[in-house]
Structure 1
Amino acid sequence: MLDLILPLQCGGCGAPATRWCPTCRHELALQPDQPHLITPRLDPGVPVLALGRYAGPRRKAVVALKEHGRADLIAPLAAPLQAAIERLLTWGVLDTPLTVVPAPTRRSAARRRGGDPVARLARTAVTALPGVTVVPALRLRPFTRDSVGLSSADRQRNIAGRIHLGTPVDGTVLLVDDVVTTGATAAESVRALQTRGADVAAVLALAHA
């Protein structure tokens, strides 16, 4: 009955009668050369890696999760994120013990979305990874604007000095985000972590714009 009222659709392509179709699962699966090293406009001073472009099924799934409450997409999006962390550990880019720190989300946005989607993705991704823990250590100060629609310069001004470390973190840190656009949030997050002595090894995002 619920499917008749709210028809079930794939979060990546809209295919009917499935939450996540085999085609989208294949398209978002980690490829042998992923994650890719990218160069955002604002350099956070550590390697920035992404699983793919913010387009197609990847973009639709992220938007569905964040803006339309599609919590059922947590698992399919976390699967390639887990694979990427495992690969970075294998490549020697990361080492354990490893602390994964989600990029901060505005409290009002988290309440509207039923929780912080980036933190939920991170927790799901590391469940089966020994020596890897998630600590939502970063906080956004009040009155920080949503960055959607802002120019690169405006994003930088909007976020400058507005991210702080609420919980100390030890050891090697991986900053995880859903989308890297200009790199403003990543750069400010890395600054906040490093100011308090954290060893930030890299930034990893589901997508880059």
Structure 2
Amino acid sequence: MLDLMLPLQCGGCGAPATPWCPECDGTLAVQPDEPHLVTPRLDPGVPVLSLGRYAGPRRKALVAVKEHGRTDLIRPLAHALHDGLEHLLNWGILGCPLTVVPAPTKRSSARKRGGDPVTRIAQLAVARTDVGAGRGPSIAAPGLGVVAALRLKTFTRDSVGLSSADRQRNIAGRVRRIRAVDGPVLLVDDIVTTGATAAESVHVLQTGGAHVVAVLALANA
């Protein structure tokens, strides 16, 4: 009855009767040489890595999660982040102990979305759950955890449609550290565009005494 009232559709291609079809799931698969190093226009001073271009089913899934409340798509995105983290750990680019810090969001936006999706994706990716089932061993290890340490201040504008310079002005001084973190830190974001949010977040974390080793994004535009 619920399916008749609210038909279930794939968040990537609109295929019926499934939240996320196998074809779209394949577009999120992390290849052996991924994540790739990218160069945003604003350099945060640390390596920036991305799991893929902000296009196709990846883009549609991220938009659906953030703008349309499709929390059922958090798990496939967490699968991709899990695999990307696993690669970076296996390559020796990252090591433990390591604190994963989600990029900041506004408190009002998080309330509208039923919680911060980037934080939920990060938590699921590193949790001792079935995220890695069928995709290799779990990366969960002592010293690996998630801390929601950053938040955007009130009145920060949505960055969609802003130019690179406007994004930088919009975010400057707007990232606030709400929890202390120290030691090695990986900043995780959903999308890296100009790099303004990543640069400001890295600066705030470093000012607070953290050693930010890299930024990892689910997508880059």
Give the SS at the match of 2:187: strand
Q: Please give the per-residue CA displacement for 1:104-136, whole angstroms capped at 9, x wherever unaligned.
A: 011111111111000000000001311310000
What is the letter of the counterpart of residue 10 of structure 1?
Answer: C
| Runs of 5+ consecutive residues of structure 2 not aligned to the other structure | 129-139
**1:173 and 2:185 matched:** yes
Q: Secondary structure of 1:173's partner?
A: strand
Tell me the C-alpha RMSD between the 2 structures: 0.7
Instruction: Name the counterpart of 1:142.
Output: 154
**For 1:206 and 1:91, how far apart are their aligned partners in 2?**
19
| Structure 2 SS opposite 1:189 | helix
How many angstroms does 1:170 deviate by? 1.9
Structure 2 letter corresponding to 1:196: G
SS of residue paired to 1:41: coil
Q: Does 1:45 align with 2:45?
A: yes
Q: How many angstroms apart in 2 are the aligned matches of 1:133 and 1:34? A: 22
Once the two structures are TM-superposed, the CA of residue 164 in structure 1 deviates from its matched residue by: 1.8
Partner of 1:186: 198
Aligned to 2:125: 125
Q: Note the alpha carbon deviations across 1:158-185, whole angstroms, 9 max, x for none.
A: 0001112111112210000000010000
Paired residues, number = 209
2:201 partner letter? S
User: Match for residue 104 of structure 1?
Assistant: 104
Deviation at 1:93, TM superposition (A): 1.0
Which segment is superposed worse, 143-152 or 181-190? 143-152
- The offset of 1:73, in angstroms, is 0.6
The SS at the match of 2:186 is strand
Query: 2: CA distance between counterparts of 1:83 and 1:195?
Result: 30
Between the aligned partners of 1:19 and 1:41, the Cα distance in structure 2 is 35
* Corresponding position of 2:133: none
Q: TM-score, normalised by structure 1?
A: 0.98
User: In the alignment, what sits opposite 2:76?
Assistant: 76
- How many angstroms apart in 2 are the aligned matches of 1:116 and 1:175? 15
Name 1:65's counterpart in structure 2. Answer: 65
Alignment partners' CA distance in 1, 2:67 and 2:199 = 24
Q: After TM superposition, where is structure 1 displaced by more than 6 Å over at least 4 residues in a row?
A: none
Instruction: Give the Cα–Cα distance (whole angstroms) in 1 for the partners of residues 24 and 191 of structure 2.
Output: 18
CA distance in 1, matches of 2:90, 2:184: 15
SS at match of 1:109: helix
Q: CA deviation at 1:41?
A: 0.3
Cα offset for 1:140?
1.2
**Structure 1 unmatched ranges of 5 or more:** none
**What's the % identity of the aligned pairs?**
74
Indicate the SS of the match to 1:155.
Answer: helix
Superposed displacement of residue 32, structure 1: 1.1
Residues in 2 aligned to 1:66 and 1:48: alpha-carbon distance in whole angstroms: 22
Correspondence for 1:56: 56
1:149 maps to a residue whose letter is G
C-alpha distance in 1 between matches for 2:72 and 2:106: 22
2:21 is aligned to 21
